[in-house]
Chains A and B, each alone.
Chain A
Amino acid sequence: MGGSLYQRIEKECEEHISAALRSLVGQSPDLVVFLSLVEKCWQDLCDQMLMIRGIALFLDRTYVKQNSNVRSLWDMGLQLFRKHLSLAPEVEHKTVTGLLRMIESERLGEAVDRTLLNHLLKMFTALGIYSESFEKPFLECTSEFYAAEGMKYMQQSDVPDYLKHVEMRLHEENERCFLYLDAITRKPLIATAERQLLESHIPAILDKGFMTLMDGHRIEDLQRMYSLFSRASLDSVLEESFSKNEAFCNTIKDSFEHLINLRQNRPAELIAKFLDEKLRAGNKGISEEELEGTLDKVLVLFRFIQGKDVFEAFYKKDLAKRLLLGKSASIDAEKSMISKLKTECGSQFTNKLEGMFKDIELSKEINESFKQSSQARMKLPSGIEMSVHVLTTGYWPTYPPMDVRLPHELNVYQDIFKEFYLSKYSGRRLMWQNSLGHCVLKADFPKGKKELAVSLFQTVVLMLFNDAQKLSFLDIKDSTGIEDKELRRTLQSLACGKVRVLQKFPKGRDVEDDDSFIFNEGFTAPLYRIKVNAIQMKETVEENTSTTERVFQDRQYQVDAAIVRIMKTRKVLSHTLLITELFQQLKFPIKPADLKKRIESLIDREYLERDKNNPQIYNYLA
């Protein structure tokens, strides 16, 4: 009895369902309207089946259960719907087309009925035809859509904007999965979008935009690029086989690393400069957390730099300036950066940097003692405040010795300090680094007294005008003994910039040989204390080049030392093995051609020779 009741219900349902679906055929050319009709049809089915099931619950629980080859009433309804939907293929096809059109509209910025999409896609899922009938064409459509969009936008926009757009699109597609797509579509969908928007354009993106981003210190944009690229390869894990994917993942990372290091030391230099700007005083409105966040982001890029010794050289140079001229925004932030670098690269990398901080702190103590000392109290004229930073050679950058003829008084003060220091620490050698010195001078201008914060070199020049009203460039050069280029820079900063303590004749930006200078009688300024020593913080082109050169020179010594060390141990070694050993031992990037240069240089200097019988082999010459 259960059986025949079931069959009759089934027959009724079938008739009804087939009629309902047939009625959809040819309905409404407007796809959205059509979809609503489909939705209604489906909704009705669901409601009706639920009701039937409710009424024939007993049937479901007994007859159906006892007969394994009989579907539950609900399933029966679904199966009938599915069957007749497949018998009216144009209905299914039209539905899918309608859905895809709606999604495309939404992608193009129009508002669509998401609930409709949601319900219909749930219908597909319930019917078990989601993957085959919807997802497959949907992914194809998505692929075409983003392929076209990718090309268009790459041509129209610059790289940072393109990447922002990509980020937005990926976010959108992700949202789509929450709003109406089935969760299983998320991964293939994102992968498809990434493939079209990113992967096929990676070479162009890296070519076009990478350098501009690096040059423009666009750290956030670079961060975005990196995170998009690394995601792209992570998501394709599921698409491709594991081994293929690992190679791809590495390719992305490698090409990023390769590109970041193509311009040799530029990235290292730029990152160091960026940090200098952030850590310098004068960064208004940046909170501690923001700064910490920025420092962390910078570290991500830092990991990619191969020539970390270049970074260290620039970072050290800038840190030294900040510490010595008192320009650090926050010592805590400075120390935080050092500890981040330490975690990243080990303590050997940061030893010297930490040593610099120790020197600064120790110097504070020394200056306290100096103030109290007999030398200072008895010999230093009152009204002269002197403080000295004592730097341990080796921790600090190497400063080229700069000659200058100090005025007598300054020499005396230096000697007083030296006497004091050596009485405490005998056996040490002190060398004055005059290029780093700075002073505050009290100046008496007709229009008002001022205090000028100046560099030591500027001081030396200005003090000449205590005894003379007008001096020529050559006079000044003779009296001060300052090197030509440096002197011109110094005079420029005093006579040609914003603050003109001196006047230059003839007027002009550059200092020429037959220029003359006079004390600026008419000098005025709104503030009492005026900074004129900004040039000390600036980096000169020579400084920059010499920093880089020193690193490269240092690398050469390291290579030579490594070659000799290896050959001394091995006595006899083939070329290829020597090269391999060197790459293992050297911590900075170097080309095989450069290694060859050093090897040939050592052959020339008779540290090694080529074996007479086998030119591929080197013999150590004791």
Chain B
Amino acid sequence: MRRSASASKKTGQTNSTNPISYSPSDLFRTASSKASSKEMERIDNQFYLYANMSSGMIDPEGIETLCSDMEVDHTDVRILMLAWKMKAEKQGYFTLEEWRRGLKALRADTVSKLKKALPELEKEVRRPSNFEDFYSYSFCYCLTEEKQKSIDTESICQLLDLVLGSQFRAQVDYFIEYLKIQSDYKVINLDQWMGFFRFCNEINFPDLSNYNPDLAWPLILDIFVEWMQAKQS
């Protein structure tokens, strides 16, 4: 039922004047639409393998199962990247639409293909043009309550390690140390989160020679830099 509907959606312009003779492009189109609808069917099937029947979504349990099937730890950053690719809204859950979006984009209609697509996905995410978006996504993904704007520092430490640890090991380690010691800030908001990313990209580390607190850096970074400089002297 749906298949044909989606098929006709895809092939917007059918040659209705001469239904008998198909042009090569028509053939291709029909063939590919048939293929894509088959693909979609498989993707949906995969979804229902992991989804919770009552909620109609893949829930945390389902995700864990998925992860073990892919032989990836559920705390692995690549799962977060997958969520990004899916544009998943709620942490720990995938809706059918999100699932479809992600797997279609990755051209994976089976879990094994999905697993194989992970390295490529990682490369894509780490591309500078994408990474900032991924970085900001990962913060928002962790906001669980409706009006929530900030995340507690403990979770931030974990998130930072996960998302930036491989790229900016030193900065992340020191910043995490600082966050654990200080008591001024109990939560971090998106502005501060993004500020840290800019900090990693622009500021020489660990000498911090080009950091200027008179500029618009978030205050928490000014204090972090002061703390670092005190440590270093």
- The chain A residues found within 8 Å of chain B, CB to CB, are 574-576, 579, 592-593, 596-597, 600, 603-604, 610, 615-618
Q: Which residues from 124 to 156 on chain B have a C-beta closer than 8 Å to any C-beta of chain A?
A: 149
B214 contacts A by Cβ under 8 Å: yes
**Chain B residues with CB under 8 A of A597:** 219
Cα-based distance from A89 to B80 in the complex (angstroms): 96
In the complex, which residues of chain A have a beta carbon less than 8 angstroms from the beta carbon of B189?
604
The residue from B149, B191, B214 contacting A600, defined by CB atoms under 8 A apart: B191
Pair B215/A575 contact, Cβ less than 8 Å: yes
Main secondary structure on A side of the interface with B: helix
* Contact status of A576 and B215, CB under 8 A, knowing A604-B191, A610-B191, A615-B198: yes
List A contacts of B213 (CB < 8 A): 592
Can you name 9 A-B pairs with beta carbons within 8 Å? A575-B215, A579-B214, A597-B219, A600-B218, A604-B191, A616-B215, A616-B216, A617-B216, A618-B216
In the assembled complex, the Cα of A615 lies from the Cα of B203 at a distance in Å of 14
**Bound-state Cα–Cα, A615 to B215, Å:** 9
Question: B89 contacts the other chain (Cβ, under 8 Å)?
Answer: no
A374 to B24, CA, bound (A): 110
Chain B nearest CB, measured from A583 CB (Å): 12
Q: In the complex, which of the residues A596, A597, A603, A616 has the most CB atoms of chain B within 10 Å of its own CB atom? A: A596
Chain B window 189-233, contacts with chain A (Cβ cutoff 8 Å), 1 for yes, 0 for no: 101100100100000000000000111101100100000000000
Q: Which residue of B lies closest to A604 (CB)?
A: B189
Task: Give chain B nearest CB distance to A521 CB in angstroms.
Answer: 56
Contact call A615/B216, Cβ cutoff below 8 A: yes
* Complex Cα–Cα for A579 and B195 (A): 19
Q: Please determine whether A576 and B214 come into contact, CB atoms closer than 8 angstroms.
A: yes
Q: Kindly state the interface size class of chain B when it binds its partner.
A: 10 to 19
Q: A597-B219, A600-B219, A604-B149 given as contacts; is B191 within 8 A of A592 (CB)?
A: no
A593 touches B219 (CB 8 A): yes
List 18 other contacts, CB 8 Å, given A597-B219, A600-B219, A604-B191. A574-B216, A575-B215, A575-B216, A576-B214, A579-B214, A593-B219, A593-B222, A596-B218, A596-B219, A596-B222, A600-B192, A603-B191, A604-B149, A604-B189, A615-B195, A615-B216, A616-B215, A616-B216
What is the minimal beta-carbon distance from B214 to any residue of chain A, in angstroms? 7
Within the complex, the shortest CB–CB distance from A42 to chain B, in Å, comes to 66
Q: 0/1 per residue, B20-61, Cβ < 8 Å to A? A: 000000000000000000000000000000000000000000
| Chain A, Cβ-Cβ closest to B195 | A615
| Bound Cα distance from A433 to B86, whole angstroms | 64
**B212: nearest residue on chain A (CB-CB)?**
A576
| A600 CA / B219 CA spacing, docked (Å) | 8
Nearest chain B CB to A130's CB is how many angstroms away? 55
Q: Contacts of B198 on A, CB cut-off 8 Å?
A: 615
From B149, B213, B219, residue with most partner A Cβ within 10 Å? B219
Nearest CB of chain A from residue B129's CB, rounded to whole Å: 15
Chain B residues with CB under 8 A of A574:
216
Contacts of B216 in A (CB 8 A): 574-575, 610, 615-618
CA distance A247 to B189 in the complex (A): 44
Q: List, in ascending order, chain B residues with CB within 8 A of A603's CB.
A: 191
| Chain B residue contacts of A616, Cβ below 8 A | 215-216
What is the CA–CA distance of A618 and B191 in the complex, to the nearest angstrom?
Answer: 12
User: Which residue in chain A gives the minimum CB-CB distance to B149?
Assistant: A604
Q: How far is the CB of A567 from chain B (nearest CB, A)?
A: 13
Measured CA separation A314–B216 after assembly (Å)? 35
- The 6 lowest CB-CB distance pairs between A and B, nearest first, are A575-B216, A596-B219, A616-B216, A603-B191, A597-B219, A615-B216
CB distance from A612 to the nearest CB of B (A): 10
Which residue of chain B has the shortest Cβ distance to A605 in the bound complex? B149
Kindly supply a per-residue 1/0 record for chain B positions 165-209, scoring 1 wherever the CB is within 8 Å of any chain A CB and 0 otherwise.
000000000000000000000000101100100100000000000
Complex: how many Å from CA A610 to CA B219?
14
What residues on B are CB-neighbors of A576 within 8 Å? 214-215
Residues of A within 8 Å of B214, CB to CB, are 576, 579, 592
Hey, which chain A residues are within 8 Å of B149, CB to CB? 604
Distance of A617 Cα from B198 Cα, bound (Å): 14
Q: How far does the alpha carbon of A615 sit from the alpha carbon of B196 in the complex, in Å?
A: 12
